[in-house]
Amino acid sequence: MQFEWTEEQDAFRHKIRDFLHANLPDDWETFSEHGPASPALTAFAREFCVKLADAGILFPHWPVEMGGEGLGPWEQQILAEEMWIAGEPRGGQYMNVNWIGPTLEKYGTDEQKKRYLEPITKGQSLWCQGFSEPDAGSDLASLRTRAELKDGNYVINGQKIWTSYAGLADTCFLLTRTSDDRKRGITIILVPMDTPGITVRQIPSLIGEGDIHEVFFDDVTVPESARFGDEGQAWEIVGYSLRNERLGIPRFTLARAALDRAVQMLKAAGDFDGDYVKIEAARCAALCEAAGTANYAVVQRRVDGLAIGAESSSARYATVMAERAVCEFVIEFLPEALAGASPYLKMHHQRGIVAGVAAGSAEIQLNIIASEVLELPREPR
Amino acid sequence: MQLSLNEDQTQVLDFIDSLAKPYATVPMHDVSLALESAELDEALVENGFLDVMAVEELGPVMAALVIEKLARLPFAVEAAASAMVRPLIDPELPRPLCLMEEGKARKPLRFLRPGATVVVVGPSGVKSFITTEDMIAPAQEDTLYGYPVAFLTSQPDSMTSHDVDVAEITRAWRVAMAAEAAGLLGAALASTVTYVSERKQFGRPLATFQGMRHRLAEDQVMTNTAYWMAMRAAGTGSQADAAMALHHAQEAAKRVCYDYHQFLGGMGMTLEHPLHLWTYRLKLLTAELGGRGAQGLAAAEALWG
Ligand SMILES: Cc1cc2nc3c(=O)[nH]c(=O)nc-3n(C[C@H](O)[C@H](O)[C@H](O)COP(=O)(O)OP(=O)(O)OC[C@H]3O[C@@H](n4cnc5c(N)ncnc54)[C@H](O)[C@@H]3O)c2cc1C
């Protein structure tokens, strides 16, 4: 075991930091308080990602055949960490380079690759992910949005909810039902968001403007060629990209950075004294580092080419624990941070509180750990 | 020992119930972060509900009961400080009353607005002043806290000194907060229980999953005991009881706020569901009077010296 970054990795991290330093505006910290899906940040990201592309740090972890530099999972991790700590200046485009691009490459038709990959590599496209429905959250496989093949077109009817970025996205990576065979009846369709029949409603939320939406599909008609993979292949494809492409958002890094910021502010106010606040701060730091180790163990598996299973649930849950502790610490000791005293800590709070819900809830991760790591007998259903 | 409500108490609480009925639910179109009602406040004052502590046959337990009951409403009411602390300082102090720890002006003050009375409590005594517009900075517009909050930017050179015992005022403050937290805990629990009993996933109500049932049941135990601790502290007037009551409530708040937002899933992130009104108030109360650490130290001091 070896816990230090290599020189190249350090250099890579510094290259990203220098780039951010040179290219983020002076008022970035206040600005980034707009959620990653806000109109302001989305517009910013459309320019910023072009610059990242020009500097070669939009998708350096992609294989050379795809135009990347073929850097490995550690570099992908470093890139994700630096961007997330900075408040994610890529907005929703992080999804593109994280998993949408590589998934398109693996499963897309030539026409789909041609149409969608180039805008991604130019930093010009925004995707949304239409998975969850009002009655299909944790139980995603019960989704009901129908796609019916009629005369060479899919006609889509149904509703999605919690869809991040939907308000401004160009394309939706949509899960639809094409047959009643639970998981094997689900099909992916790539739907341009300006197709007639789509209605997006923003949901007012605790986590900032523009983040979560309801999306209604009313006789939305797209050509059969918009289908991604085969009918019924969605579960396999999504499973593949979750296991192989997608890195969890490195939330533990921002949690740690937020904690450090909070301690700085307490020190400046003369209130980082007494045992209690120090013990609590240290507890938070340990939880952040614990989450880091769990996340890195997953990255190592990817480096080693091993399948990723319940390890990622462990990493997710450790991250939820860290986020929870830091969010609570900040409010208990620096309640002013959320009322205007620290845009950075408020930004962290709004991103931190979703850690246990977005992308599959914490309790579902616990069920996975119980079944797959501990191999406990399953709860009867 | 006599732990059931007496006739007076039942009557007062019933009266509040009927008066607060129009405010018991969130207006559908209103998804604001802090919900308040001037009319409700006025009605409470007019009917003397914030002055029950001074009425001999009612006293501090009645005040705590009133505070707890009002905290259950989705509408925020400045009742705790007015009903439990103000009578000990000067019953004529103009409302709303904002209690502030000396030297902690950096923290947001609940209900702070021009004309409010700020009471500064600390080593140099208990002092107060009436605020004017120039002393106040608004908080960020989309502050999440569910209470109207603002910052004090300056304090007048001369304040009114009150000849009262700092320890006694701090004790009452703790009890007031514990009672308010108890009401918030009760309302948040009820709201969550309704949601998870109705919401189905995997073909069954969420509430049938044992992992959730156990956590909710523990949350109920914390909530129920937070209520009794607050009432007892109001009744006994003991320093240790007050510190333990607020410690317990703050501990409970941390646990349930996390649990309930988890249990609501995506719905817990919306402003359309009222849960956040109670949980974000609770979160702010975890910072009150120095938080659990300070309450713990105060309790230890009172218990064992
Ligand atoms: C900020 C944010 C962004 C999101 N972005 C997207 C997006 O872009 N696209 C998309 O498709 N979705 C998105 N989601 C949706 C997210 O994936 C769902 O919220 C999540 O899967 C949970 O589903 P739910 O909200 O329906 O909660 P439910 O499934 O109703 O769950 C509620 C609670 O019940 C618990 N529970 C459920 N089943 C069990 C069980 N078997 N045992 C014990 N407890 C259980 C859960 O853990 C949770 O605590 C987003 C959510 C958030 C909060």
Which residues contact residue B272 at a Cβ distance below 8 angstroms, ignoring those fewer than 6 apart? Answer: A203, A204, B31
Q: How confident is the model at residue A126 (pLDDT cuts 50, 70, 90)?
A: very high
Contact A324 B140 (CB under 8 A): no
Q: How many domains does chain B have?
A: 1
Which residues contact residue A167 at a Cβ distance below 8 angstroms, ignoring those fewer than 6 apart? Answer: A37, A39, A200, A202, A210, A213
Domain membership of residue B146 (yes or no) is: no
Query: What mean pLDDT comes out for the span A89-96?
Result: 94
Q: How many residues does chain A have?
A: 381
Domain membership of residue B219 (yes or no) is: yes
Establish if B27 touches chain A: CB-CB under 8 angstroms: no
Q: What percent of chain A has pLDDT over 70?
A: 99
Q: Residue A199: in which H helix or E strand, if any?
A: strand A198-202
Cis omega before residue B96 (within 30°)?
Answer: yes
Query: What mean pLDDT comes out for the span A202-216?
Result: 92
Contact A120, A102 (CB under 8 A): no
> How far is it between the farthest Cα atoms of chain A?
73
Contact B194, B187 (CB under 8 A): no
Coil, helix or strand at residue A306: coil
Q: The pTM is what?
A: 0.97
A341-to-A212, B20, B99 alpha-carbon distances in Å: 26, 35, 20
* Residues in chain B, pLDDT under 70: 29-31
Residue A381 has pLDDT above 80, yes or no: no
Dihedral over alpha carbons B216, B217, B222, B224 (to 10 degrees): 110
Query: For B40-81, what is each residue's pLDDT tens digit?
Result: 999 999 999 999 999 999 999 999 999 999 999 999 999 999
Tokens of B176: 């007031």
Establish if A328 touches chain B: CB-CB under 8 angstroms: yes
Domain membership of residue B170 (yes or no) is: yes
Residue A168 has pLDDT above 70, yes or no: yes
Tokens of A139: 């139980």
Query: What mean pLDDT comes out for the span A97-119?
Result: 96
Question: How many residue pairs from chains A and B have C-beta atoms closer than 8 A?
Answer: 114
Beta bridge partners of A173: A129, A190
CA A160 – CA A171 distance, rounded (Å): 14
The pLDDT score that the predictor gives to residue B238 is: 98
Query: What's B270's domain CATH number?
Result: 1.20.140.10
The pLDDT score that the predictor gives to residue A246 is: 67
CA A326 – CA A161 distance, rounded (Å): 28
Nearest residue in chain A measured CA to CA from B209: A379
Contact A20, A89 (CB under 8 A): yes
Which residues contact residue B231 at a Cβ distance below 8 angstroms, ignoring those fewer than 6 apart? Answer: B61, B64, B65, B68, B179
Establish if A166 touches chain B: CB-CB under 8 angstroms: no
Orientation angle between helical segments A39-54 and A7-23, nearest 10 degrees:
130
Centroid of ligand 1 to alpha carbon of B215 (angstroms): 18
Interface test with B, best of A363, A365, A376 (most B CBs within 10 A): A363
The residue segments making up the domain with residue B200 are 166-304
Domain membership of residue B215 (yes or no) is: yes
Residue A58 has pLDDT above 70, yes or no: yes
Assigned CATH class of A250-373: mainly alpha
Coil, helix or strand at residue A149: strand
The pLDDT score that the predictor gives to residue A264 is: 98
Q: How confident is the model at residue A31 (pLDDT cuts 50, 70, 90)?
A: confident
CB A174 less than 6 A from any atom of ligand 1:
no
Centroid of ligand 1 to alpha carbon of A164 (angstroms): 13
| Nearest chain A CA: its distance from B89 CA (Å) | 27
Tokens of B140: 């960020």
- Return mean pLDDT, chain A: 95
CATH number of A7-125: 1.10.540.10
Domain boundaries along the sequence of chain A: 7-125, 128-232, 250-373
Centroid of ligand 1 to alpha carbon of A358 (angstroms): 6
Establish if A341 touches chain B: CB-CB under 8 angstroms: yes
CA A262 – CA A337 distance, rounded (Å): 9
A11-to-A17, A61, A79 alpha-carbon distances in Å: 10, 15, 12
Domain membership of residue B110 (yes or no) is: no
Query: For A218-261, what is each residue's pLDDT tens digit?
Result: 999 999 999 999 999 999 999 888 776 666 899 999 999 999 99
The pLDDT score that the predictor gives to residue A32 is: 80
Tokens of B208: 């049938």
Among B229, B252, B233, which Cα is nearest to B242's? B233
CB A162 less than 6 A from any atom of ligand 1:
yes
- Which member of A206, A335, A349 has the closest CB to residue B107? A335
CATH number of A128-232: 2.40.110.10
| Nearest chain B CA: its distance from A356 CA (Å) | 7
Contact B191, B281 (CB under 8 A): no
Please give the full DSSP string across A239-285, using - where no structure is assigned: HHIIIIIPPPP-HHHHHHHHHHHHHHHHHHTT---SHHHHHHHHHHH
Among A216, A215, A145, A222, which Cα is nearest to A187's? A145
Contact B200 A357 (CB under 8 A): no
Asked whether the ipTM of the predicted complex exceeds the cut of 0.85, the reply is yes
Task: Please give, one letter per residue, the 3-state secondary structure of B44-107.
Answer: HHHCCHHHHHHCCCCHHHHHHHHHHHHHCCCCECCCHHHHHHHHHHCCCCCCCEEEEECCCCCC
Contact A354 B269 (CB under 8 A): yes
Contact A274 B272 (CB under 8 A): no
Chain B residues with CB under 8 Å of A356 CB are 258, 261-262
